[in-house]
Amino acid sequence: MSVEGDLAPGYESQSEEGEGREGIAEGVRSYVLGLALAIALTVASFWVARTHILYGPSVPVALVALAVAQMGIHLVFFLHITTAPDNTNNVLALALGVLIVFVLVFGTVWVMAHMNHNMMSMHEPLASPPQNE
């Protein structure tokens, strides 16, 4: 097998094709490990959401953390986006995507929350005078 400088997403670093039984076992093991981790994180998400194991207001934070972790598992084990040197192009494209998603979602939520707050005080007089004036 010739050494290539880059690797497409979806392909594992070492084995590609024609590796016989060894290649199959290796590939299946990787997917099974990914599936097991994804199931564990999914069950944890439902458990946190459906029980009172965590302090109420911290539940959304825990769910976001579990979701991000599971997305990472999916990227590594199912899409084979890794930190290996032959994956640099894919990781850089992903990094740009994550940056845009972060700016878009957090920027929108942040700006709109402030706007709602400011509009609210115009027709709903505050019970107590504003403290940070």
The three-point CA angle 73-74-79 to 5° equals: 125
75 lies in the binding site for other proteins (CB under 8 A): yes
- Residues numbered 24 to 53 that lie near other proteins (CB under 8 A) are 24, 27-28, 31, 34-35, 38-39, 42, 45-46, 48-50
The three-point CA angle 29-32-33 to 5° equals: 85
Distances (CA, A) of 13 to 21, 28, 43: 17, 15, 30
Residue 32 to residue 24: CA distance in whole angstroms: 12
Q: Where does residue 90 rank: exposed (0-12), middle (13-18), buried (19+ CB within 10 A)?
A: buried
Of 13, 33, 53, 97, which lies in the binding site for other proteins, with binding defined by CB under 8 A? 97
- By beta-carbon proximity to other proteins, the closer residue of 21 and 122 is 21
13 lies in the binding site for other proteins (CB under 8 A): no
Size of interface with other proteins, in residues (CB under 8 A)? 52
- By beta-carbon proximity to other proteins, the closer residue of 96 and 121 is 96
Distances (CA, A) of 86 to 4, 6, 7, 12, 129: 8, 5, 6, 10, 60
117 lies in the binding site for other proteins (CB under 8 A): no
Number of other residues whose CB lies within 10 A of the CB of residue 66:
20
| Least distance from other proteins to the Cβ atom of residue 118, Å | 15
Q: Which residues bind other proteins (CB under 8 A)?
A: 3-11, 16-17, 23-24, 27-28, 31, 34-35, 38-39, 42, 45-46, 48-50, 56, 59-60, 63-64, 66-67, 70-71, 74-75, 78-79, 89-90, 93-94, 96-97, 100-101, 104-105, 108-109, 112
